[in-house]
Chain A
Amino acid sequence: GAVVSQHPSRVICKSGTSVKIECRSLDFQATTMFWYRQFPKQSLMLMATSNEGSKATYEQGVEKDKFLINHASLTLSTLTVTSAHPEDSSFYICSARDAASGYSYEQYFGPGTRLTVT
């Protein structure tokens, strides 16, 4: 149980284009989803927290107009990298909290999406 999928697993795009990454909770409802960015050999950097049906809360320094997050349903959140540039190349990871988990605060992680901007 508690499986989170991400699609695509890898994407290569040209500079200036936009890329959408999907994050789905497959067997549970996720009221809260998180988007992280991870640079090679580094830790996870939280980009934003999204709650279903409301606007995402972005961490300081993260451009909300560049990284658009939509959490339209209890099983799907999307991250759109708009007008991507090579410096946006990174590993993007989503996670989700089970709505039924109460105070366990456990996050279930997707396998990640490798974005390369050329």
Chain B
Amino acid sequence: AQSVTQPDIHITVSEGASLELRCNYSYGATPYLFWYVQSPGQGLQLLLKYFSGDTLVQGIKGFEAEFKRSQSSFNLRKPSVHWSDAAEYFCAVLSKAGNNRKLIWGLGTSLAVNP
């Protein structure tokens, strides 16, 4: 069955420190992978996505993610975290079964940033 695992429920980093949020997926074919961020009072916003090609994907707000097929991972990284990055981060894989294309979501990682 298709699934997404985000092993870290909560992470705290200091402002200016580097960040890596882990995401592992289970999917039989080539996955379409997404990272979304949810800030309080705002809708989920797409940070980046991977469909094919270069396995290192650049996104908005200075985020990047690397697709590693051998590890079934799509970890999100940022070299220097800002206080405004505190939010909930969700990894998702697109399920292409049947006629409806729907997202399979991880449980999310809550990021806190210390000043």
Partner-B contacts on A (CB < 8 A): 4, 32, 34, 41-44, 46, 49, 57, 93, 95, 103-112
- Whether A49 lies near B43 (C-beta < 8 A) is no
Does chain A have a CB within 8 A of B113? no
| A93 proximity list for chain B (CB < 8 A) | 43-44
* Chain A residue, CB-CB nearest to B10: A41
- Whether B42 lies near A43 (C-beta < 8 A) is no
Q: How far is the CB of B13 from chain A (nearest CB, A)?
A: 19
**Cross-interface CB contact of B103 among A4, A104, A107, A112, cutoff 8 Å:** A107
7 A-B pairs within 8 Å (CB atoms) are namely A43-B108, A44-B44, A57-B100, A95-B44, A104-B49, A106-B34, A112-B43
**Cross-interface CB contact of B49 among A34, A41, A106, cutoff 8 Å:** A106
Interface range, B side: 20 to 34
What 0/1 pattern do residues 41 to 82 of B give for CB contact below 8 A with A? 111111001010000000000000000000000000000000
Instruction: Name B81-106 residues within 8 Å CB distance of A.
Output: 90, 94, 100-103, 105-106
Partner-A contacts on B (CB < 8 A): 32, 34, 36, 41-46, 49, 51, 90, 94, 100-103, 105-108, 110
- Whether B49 lies near A46 (C-beta < 8 A) is no
- Whether A46 lies near B103 (C-beta < 8 A) is yes
* Chain A residue, CB-CB nearest to B110: A41
| B103 proximity list for chain A (CB < 8 A) | 44, 46, 107
- Whether A44 lies near B46 (C-beta < 8 A) is no
* Chain A residue, CB-CB nearest to B45: A109
| B45 proximity list for chain A (CB < 8 A) | 109
- Whether A43 lies near B106 (C-beta < 8 A) is yes
Q: How far is the CB of B59 from chain A (nearest CB, A)?
A: 12
| A104 proximity list for chain B (CB < 8 A) | 49
- Whether A46 lies near B102 (C-beta < 8 A) is yes
- Whether B106 lies near A111 (C-beta < 8 A) is no
A109 to B100, CA, bound (A): 18
A95 to B32, CA, bound (A): 18
| A34 proximity list for chain B (CB < 8 A) | 102
A103 to B46, CA, bound (A): 16
